[in-house]
Structure 1
Amino acid sequence: MNDTERQALLSAMQDEEAIVREWIQETLSGASGASDAGRRTLQAEATELLGTLREALRSGADAARLADPAWSRVREVLESLSRSRAAQGQNAADTSLFILSFKRPLFTRLQGSDPRAALGTVWAVSLLVDRLAQWTVSTYQQTREEIIRRQQQDLLELSTPVIKLWEGVLAVPMIGTLDSGRTQVVMETLLERIVESGSTLAIIDITGVPTVDTLVAQHLLKTVSAIRLMGAECIISGIRPQIAQTIVHLGIDLQGIATKASLADALALALHQRGYTIQRESATS
């Protein structure tokens, strides 16, 4: 964008109120409607972006290089807009459409007496708005990926709770596929709780693990080894007949590790190892 085109664009952007109004109308064209709060949000976003864009153009910023420092404030506004919409669950298409709708009110004001000069300015403005929209979509995608990764991490932590069953006895009920990521979360969470509570025995319940293969067994063995390094012992519960057959067939060595068919049996063993005796209270007449 040369100086002539820049000045033409700055001149076209003078009527801020009208541009923002037409911008919002273009954004909402074909939509079922927007609430008053939604319109106010759009107006605030459009007004802020228009103002920062005008400042960047006045400073002589190169429209072809949005990564330059001169565009820093514009990038901040675009990124804030994208992150806000991504967090609200809006899609990338609507976010991009909002920026692209900025073209119509600008094009309307760029029509001049010299068609050839106006055509060059329109083309330069079109490229600039397209770059703004592209930057917005890129930021939106990065934000969505961050949200997904954070949600996955939250789900991992929620799916591997550490429960205190008895004094000195912790339990971790495993549900779903046990992979490297979940194993790491289990080990970190469990070891932290062992240190915090001073527990000496941990029960890993795999009742909810659908299948046990060599990789899953390796993850379990690593977890048991880490627990033992902390001075605690481990019991694996939830060993169903199918899983027992698979472990034998794969030649997986679980010697030295106590195993039980159910969490109740594992808890009974844990209490016995800690010196507790469980007796049924006799019925009184």
Structure 2
Amino acid sequence: MSVTESALRERLCEVLVRRGDEIADRWVRQQVERVSLSEGLAQEDLHEEADALVAALRRGMASELPTDRVVASHQELREAVVDMSMRRARAGSSPTATSLSVLALKDVLLEAAQQESLAADDMLAAALLLNRLLDAAGALCFETYVEGREEIIRRQSRQLLEVSTPVVRLWRHVLAVPLVGTLDTARSQVVMETLLEAIQQHEATVAIIDITGVPTVDTSVAQHLMQTVQAVRMMGADCVISGIRPAIAQTIVQLGIDLSDILTRANLADALATAVRLTGEDGTGTVSGPLAAPGAPEVRAAP
């Protein structure tokens, strides 16, 4: 870092000290006037992040860090930019608008520096220095925004998978997972985790995986099912797969997939009857209890 640049940073720090509040206020007004830069945020939020960013910028420039590394390496300044970006991501602002909001601070800072009667050469140098600083801040803001939105999307996707993969308690110590739609690697992992947690929570001894709503079963889907069955067994529970339609059964045979050691039933009713028998709670094989409504036909365990 040259002496000239060091002295210039010191002059700009002095400007930020004397005019920090004024700079923050002008920056907020500029964003409010350009509605696209402040969409989704209240003025109180804009003032809060403006005060934080201006203060962090002042301390960052006062540090011994090289100008090109101030934004990336000065912890307070980096956190101020990241917090601003994440806040705007949650508010629904676009990444472009978020970055432009940071870049809009250039004009306000240069105007404040000009009011300090800097020489023409110093103003040019100040403009170049602020460009380097705030361009880096804008890039970090954009990068953080994109990463934050991706994390939000991943979290929401997982939540949707969990909602679409409910674990239902059908009987005392009997759980069922009715699967509908495509069963890929990500969803299979959620099915396994959710089912194992439910087995532990309800002290289940039998788990039914119903694939009536799964349109196709290929090698990958079958492998996922077998892994889930193995995990359930490791938890000390039995596993029953129901809902294997004729077409799916033919596909499984043609693919050479061996499910001979896995207990299967044609439909959920048969699987429930088998599960009740496996629990050993009804020695007669007759389902009785809260699921057997008055006058309803009895469900017998499969022989």
TM-score by length of 2: 0.81
TM-aligned CA deviation for residue 60 of structure 1: 4.0
Q: Determine the structure 2 residue equivalent to 1:129.
A: 134
| More moved, 98-107 vs 54-63 | 54-63
| Residue 59 of structure 2 is aligned to residue 55 of structure 1 | yes
Q: Which residue of 1 aligns with 2:301?
A: none
Q: Tell me, what secondary structure is at the counterpart of 1:73?
A: helix
In structure 1, how many angstroms separate the alpha carbons of the residues matched to 2:229 and 2:118? 81
Corresponding position of 2:35: 31
Distance 2:43 2:295 in 1: 69
Residues in 2 aligned to 1:34 and 1:180: alpha-carbon distance in whole angstroms: 40
Q: CA deviation at 1:136?
A: 1.8
Cα deviation, 1:220-251, whole Å, max 9, x if unaligned, reads 11222222333322211121232222222222
Corresponding residue pairs, total:
282
Mapped to 2, the partners of 1:217 and 1:151 lie a distance apart of 26
1:11 CA drift (Å): 4.0
SS at match of 2:67: coil
1:235 partner SS: strand
Change (3 A) 1:17 1:66: closer
Task: State yes or no: 1:153 paired with 2:158.
Answer: yes
Mapped to 2, the partners of 1:282 and 1:164 lie a distance apart of 20
Pick aligned residue for 1:3 from 6, 11, 15: 6
Give matches, 1:161-200, under 5 Å: 161-200=166-205
Alignment correspondent of 1:116: 121
**8 Å Cα contact 1:156-1:182 kept in structure 2:** yes
Partner of 1:244: 249
Tell me, yes or no, if the aligned pair for 1:110 and 1:122 is still in contact at 8 Å.
Answer: no
SS of 1:251's equivalent in the other structure is coil
Q: What does 1:215-226 align with in structure 2 at a 5 Å threshold?
A: 215-226=220-231
Q: 1:182 to 1:45 in 2, by over 3 A?
A: same
Equivalent residues of 1:207, 1:262 under 8 A apart? yes
RMSD: 2.8
- Give the structure-1-normalised TM-score: 0.86
2:49 maps to which residue? 45
Deviation at 1:35, TM superposition (A): 8.8
Name the SS for the 1:211 alignment partner. Answer: coil
Confirm or deny: 8 A CA contact 2:196 2:232 kept in the other structure. yes
After the TM superposition, which of the residue ranges 254-263 and 272-281 deviates more from structure 2? 272-281
Structure 2: runs of 5+ lacking an equivalent: 298-303
How far did 1:205 drift?
Answer: 0.7
Give the conservation status (yes or no) of the 8 Å contact 1:8–1:121.
no
Query: Contact 2:23–2:108 (CA<8 Å) still a contact in 1?
Result: yes
CA distance in 2, matches of 1:144, 1:74: 21
SS at match of 2:221: helix
Indicate which of 105, 110, 118 corresponds to 1:107: 110
